[in-house]
Structure 1
Amino acid sequence: MSLVTEDLRAKADELYHGDAICQEKSQFLLTEMGLPNGLLPLKDMEECGYVKDAGFVWLKQKKSSTHKFEKIGKLVSYGPEITATIEKGKIKKLTGVKTKELLVWVTLSDIYVDDPPTGKITFKTPAGLFRTFPVSAFEIEGHAASKDVKDKEEVKEVKGVVEV
């Protein structure tokens, strides 16, 4: 059952279809919110949307996928639909994401970076259990968060000049 209804799609401030644009927009949103840009390494994305007023975001991929974050040795499973409420430095009410702890898949519900920044990111379960890791383990190599935002701003300025 999908949490993303047609009514919600109609309210979306941003709605994109296709893997390339969804990859770009999801990484940009993560960076804009002060989160690591490699946090949601989804494959074959079909749709992504964002309702700014509510902070509600959704990402849809063709099928479930798993990803191993090599720097920390953690395996994470991403369902076909991931939804969350996002705000500066935090992801709340996360659905569709699980991590493997020992032999058990554990659902994640919240992700947040420390404020003020300490270089740590914390993952919480609905039961209140949590784990903390270095933020750098979830960054895409060669893309520092501040550099990525600066690059996006320059692209926007260039697009504005070309369109005029």
Structure 2
Amino acid sequence: MAEKEGGIVKKGHEEGTKMAIALLEEFGLPLGLLPLENITEVGFVRTTGYMWIIQEKKVEHNFKTVSKLVSYDTEIQGYVEKFRIKKLKGVKARELMLWPPVNEIIVDDPPTGKIHFKSLVGVTKIFPVEAFAAGQ
């Protein structure tokens, strides 16, 4: 894929997790945003902000403090910039009986302690950032 050209790639769960967390940290995003398992590859192209994560199987994670069930596909991709991930693919949040794809995540800047999740169907949900801290 052309968008992966010039990317830094880490293979394996341990290295991939370290890189994913380092990227979240660098761009001011909550460290628990991507609770992934059995990562096989993480890549990042600094010039474009394109990031991808490949994991062995789909993961569902319940963010208990906001009672939000989120599904992470085997391949997750998007463009990372300061306080934001856009054109996100591979992440869905349960909304009543539906699973609308989340296509953008934005942390307020200046910080208000809020994080916004936008879906393609026009739904925006706002939660406290700490609900997505590491270990949640």
- The TM tier, using the shorter chain, reads over 0.9
Q: Identity across aligned pairs (percent)?
A: 43
Aligned to 2:92: 98
Rounded Cα–Cα distance in structure 2 between residues aligned with 1:93 and 1:38: 19
Aligned to 1:51: 45
Q: TM-score, normalising length from structure 1?
A: 0.80
- 1:78 is aligned, of 72, 80, 83, to 72
Structure richer in strand, relative to its length: 2
The equivalences for 1:138-153 within 5 A come to 138-141=132-135
Aligned to 1:30: 24
Rounded Cα–Cα distance in structure 2 between residues aligned with 1:84 and 1:10: 15
Structure richer in helix, relative to its length: 1
Q: CA deviation at 1:33?
A: 0.2
Are the counterparts in 2 of residues 67 and 77 from structure 1 also a CA contact under 8 Å? Answer: yes
Kindly provide the CA deviation profile for residues 30-60 of structure 1, in whole angstroms up to 9, marking residues without a partner as x: 0110000110111100000000111000000
Q: Give 3-state SS (helix, strand or coil) of 2:109's partner.
A: coil
- 1:132 is aligned, of 86, 108, 126, to 126
Aligned to 2:6: 11
Are the counterparts in 2 of residues 9 and 15 from structure 1 also a CA contact under 8 Å? Answer: no
Rounded Cα–Cα distance in structure 2 between residues aligned with 1:88 and 1:104: 30
Q: CA deviation at 1:128?
A: 2.1
Are the counterparts in 2 of residues 98 and 107 from structure 1 also a CA contact under 8 Å? Answer: yes
1:20 aligns with 2:8: no
Name stretches of at least 5 consecutive residues in structure 1 with no aligned partner.
143-164
1:68 aligns with 2:62: yes
Rounded Cα–Cα distance in structure 1 between residues aligned with 2:41 and 2:124: 30
Are the counterparts in 1 of residues 57 and 73 from structure 2 also a CA contact under 8 Å? Answer: yes
Q: TM-score, normalising length from structure 2?
A: 0.96
**Which entry has the higher C-alpha Rg, 1 or 2?**
1
Rounded Cα–Cα distance in structure 1 between residues aligned with 2:84 and 2:5: 25
Question: What's the Cα RMSD here?
Answer: 1.3
Instruction: Say how many residue pairs are matched.
Output: 136
Q: CA deviation at 1:9?
A: 3.9
The equivalences for 1:101-120 within 5 A come to 101-120=95-114
Rounded Cα–Cα distance in structure 1 between residues aligned with 2:3 and 2:50: 9
Name stretches of at least 5 consecutive residues in structure 2 with no aligned partner.
none
Q: Give 3-state SS (helix, strand or coil) of 1:116's partner.
A: coil
